[in-house]
Structure 1
Amino acid sequence: MTQHDIHVIGGGLAGSEAAWQLAKAGLRVKLSEMRGGGDTTPAHQTDGFAELVCSNSFRSDDAERNAVGLLHAEMRDLGSLVMTAADAHQLPAGSALAVDRDRFSDQVTRTLAEHPNITIVRERVDTLPTDTPAIVATGPLTAPSLAEAIGQSTGADALAFFDAIAPIVHADSIDMSVAWKQSRWDKAGPAGDGKDYINCPLDRDQYAAFHAELIAGEKAAFKEWEHVPYFEGCMPIEVMAERGVETLRYGPMKGVGLDDPRTGRWPYACVQLRQDNASGTLWNMVGFQTKLKHGEQLRIFRTIPGLEGAEFARLGGLHRNTFIRSPDLLDGELRLKARPNLRFAGQITGCEGYVESTAIGLIAARFAIAELTGQRLAAPPVETALGALLSHITGADGAEDYQPMNVNFGLFPPIEGRTKKADRKLMYTSRARAAFREWTAGLEMVAA
């Protein structure tokens, strides 16, 4: 096949899913993957498509109470190749979906290779296609030459190579009988009222114990290939702590200008959380990017007054991760605004996780199919897992401080009224399934 309708760049989970969806719709696909063509990445071990390099778990498969499980269900309903292969090679893991990594990748690779509409080319792509429709799904380890080309097309400051992320907490898990809302010195931002932060106070003894735990906590080591430097503007919280016992009190944990309503005084130290989404369901721990292992983060951060019962939408981290500032650069159909023949999909858009990457590859392909066949695809409703994730990427909450994110209920429109946490999760999933059914019914009508 010398001609193709669309070019998919990258054979990870997003690219593999996109190629399958496109080919299944009757489009001729060129699928480029540099592994197997003389190039590789420091993290991959094989040249198989959809290789899982970090974990064999797709996380929870509970579609009733877990956002990623709900996303699994939606992807299955949309005929996902990746979910089909995952289900075929599932391993015992309780409510989680774990897979035999080698057999999973082998099935995806074989399925793509055998499809008559897909031509696989083992090549490194160094430049972005200029006229041909394309989906760029090159992942967090995009080859430097292509990353440079992306930077030239998007603006150098729109491409991140360094990912320093702080934990994000579900608002309804914060104990507001201890914490309170106030901006430092009651200073209001452009859209604020002087109550733009949630404040968690620590007294002298609590601070000393917290500082000691940060120093002693077990840290994750950088992988040899990451070579991530520490920058002063995003120093890990535990590295700051190592500089001296008072460093945090004069940095991200300073209590000045904050009046604890229980005492009327400034706290000895204070952890501040900043609203992270428009609906106010997620709050970011300011200055708390960290290399603490996830279990240690849960243990140590729950010693902070007000966060004893904290539920985390995302834990902190610090690693190399190439992604674009999608809310600024992409339209609602994942097209690059400056070059609409290009769509981006997978982790390079700023979603986090295998499942999320696959889902964005799937919906990018569905948008491309509609465009190339003279139709228009309505975006999945934001009440669905797929729609909530897409909305996060394409800018529902703006591009400021945009960081990679796993799907979680904090990205969904909030459930109104006071309900128990367990009931609220069921309400999210029930509402999502109804919205998803209505959306897919519309797809069937368009197809007919």
Structure 2
Amino acid sequence: MEEVVVVGGGLAGSEASFRLASMGVKVLLYEMRPVKGTPAHRTGRFAELVCSNTLGSMELTSGAGLLKAEMELLGSLVVEAAKEAYVPAGTAMAVDREVFSEYITRRILEHPNIRLIREEVKKVPRDRIVIVSSGPLTSEALAEDIRELVGFDYLYFYDAIAPVVEAESVDFSKGFWASRYGKGGDDYFNCTLTEEEYRVFYEELLRAEKVQPKDFENLVYFEGCMPIEELAERGYKTLLFGPMKPVGLVDPRTGRQPFAVVQLRKENREGTLLSLVGFQTRMTYSEQKRVLRLIPCLRNAVFVKLGSMHRNTFI
């Protein structure tokens, strides 16, 4: 079989390249990072996770859990790496994103059937067998060529990233460790808020300055990854049924369900970094620090990564 061209070294491109190479097929893998970056990636490694560090539920009763189980039966590199980089997170498959991407990068670079070229592909080759796996952060030039190839306009939505804090800066006296409904271990730190603390946080969230989009684009969001300030705009109690919902949690200090919680999840194996679960945001950096420090456990938080927003393209 002739050499297969794979464009993009994200999750799909890495999986496709490794699977083909493992079957004896020669692969020419193109990845433009780090020669040319994207608005969200930070490294040149393969399969870098730019948003959440979870790959969805592990429960076989869910579509995501069943998919990963089937992928594992097929010898998936992504699932293999996820198990190597696993971080406890209740029923979710969370990973140390650095270990995860480093593992996949090493396996790709070590494979004798994969040839890597670090440059931007601006046009889809028309005379080769090609897998286009450039993902939602496809470069403008390639996105335009794909648009011409498929014959209709591509679409877009805005995605946001949640902040990460140093664990040492968190006040652990202001909450408790537990997983919702007791599923899994005590993998999440639940920072509790009283009704008054929630009200103050909510009002300041609405007042906060936000990063504005380009003049010619509308802010279209993915409903499963909405910025917290957009949820707040929908009503006073919306966050209480979203990322700040207290259901399934009982505060061992009071024996009661809190009014509201902010969940923190381990970002790495050592537990030195914690991400704010579901707290994607487009607040400006200075406003993120001001508003998020109104959360009791984060009064003195040290932020190692602040939330941001980026544009995702899809067909």
Query: Which residue among 281, 300, 303 is the counterpart of 2:238?
Result: 300
Residue 37 of structure 2 is matched in structure 1 by 40
Q: Is the partner of 2:144 in helix, strand or coil?
A: helix
Aligned pairs (5 A) from 1:55-204: 55-63=52-60, 65-157=61-153, 159-162=154-157
Q: Is the partner of 2:78 in helix, strand or coil?
A: helix
Residue 170 of structure 2 is matched in structure 1 by none
Distance 1:29 1:235 in 2: 36
Q: Deviations over 1:334-365 (max 9, x none)?
A: xxxxxxxxxxxxxxxxxxxxxxxxxxxxxxxx
Distance 1:227 1:76 in 2: 42
Aligned pairs (5 A) from 1:9-408: 9-36=7-34, 38-63=35-60, 65-157=61-153, 159-162=154-157, 218=205, 227=214, 231=218, 291-292=227-228, 296=232, 299-300=237-238, 320-324=311-315
Give the stretch that moved more between structures: 293-302 or 119-128.
293-302
**Structure 2: 5+ residue stretches without partners:** 160-201, 242-280, 282-308
Query: Which protein is bigger by CA-based radius of gyration?
Result: 1
Kindly state the Cα deviation for residue 42 of structure 1 after the two structures are TM-superposed. Answer: 1.8
Distance 1:98 1:294 in 2: 26
Kindly state the Cα deviation for residue 24 of structure 1 after the two structures are TM-superposed. Answer: 1.1
Distance 1:160 1:235 in 2: 10
Q: Is the partner of 2:5 in helix, strand or coil?
A: strand
Which amino acid in the other structure matches residue 53 of structure 1? V
Kept in 2, the 8 Å contact 1:217–1:292? The answer is: no
Which amino acid in the other structure matches residue 58 of structure 2? D
Q: What is the TM-score of this pair, normalised by structure 2?
A: 0.56
Kindly state the Cα deviation for residue 7 of structure 1 after the two structures are TM-superposed. Answer: 0.3
Superposed structure 1 runs of 4+ greater than 6 Å apart: 219-224
Q: Is the partner of 1:44 in helix, strand or coil?
A: coil
Identity within the alignment, %: 43
Q: Deviations over 1:271-328 (max 9, x none)?
A: xxxxxxxxxxxxxx9xxx975558757942999xxxxxxxxxxxxx99622111xxxx
Q: Deviations over 1:15-65 (max 9, x none)?
A: 0011011111111100000003x21112111100000111211122111x3
Kindly state the Cα deviation for residue 216 of structure 1 after the two structures are TM-superposed. Answer: 5.6
Which amino acid in the other structure matches residue 134 of structure 1? V
Distance 1:294 1:222 in 2: 10
Residue 180 of structure 1 is matched in structure 2 by none
The verdict on how the C-alpha distance between 1:293 and 1:57 changes in structure 2, with shifts beyond 3 A counting, is farther
Distance 2:204 2:68 in 1: 34
Higher strand share: 2
Residue 263 of structure 2 is matched in structure 1 by none
Kept in 1, the 8 Å contact 2:156–2:220? The answer is: no
Kindly state the Cα deviation for residue 155 of structure 1 after the two structures are TM-superposed. Answer: 2.6
Q: Is the partner of 1:97 in helix, strand or coil?
A: strand
Residue 5 of structure 1 is matched in structure 2 by 3
Kept in 1, the 8 Å contact 2:40–2:310? The answer is: no
Distance 2:220 2:105 in 1: 41
The verdict on how the C-alpha distance between 1:227 and 1:221 changes in structure 2, with shifts beyond 3 A counting, is farther
Kept in 2, the 8 Å contact 1:228–1:320? The answer is: no
Which amino acid in the other structure matches residue 109 of structure 2? A
Distance 1:290 1:105 in 2: 25
Higher helix share: 1
Kept in 1, the 8 Å contact 2:31–2:118? The answer is: yes
**Structure 1: 5+ residue stretches without partners:** 165-214, 237-284, 304-316, 325-448
Kept in 2, the 8 Å contact 1:228–1:319? The answer is: no
Kept in 2, the 8 Å contact 1:41–1:141? The answer is: yes
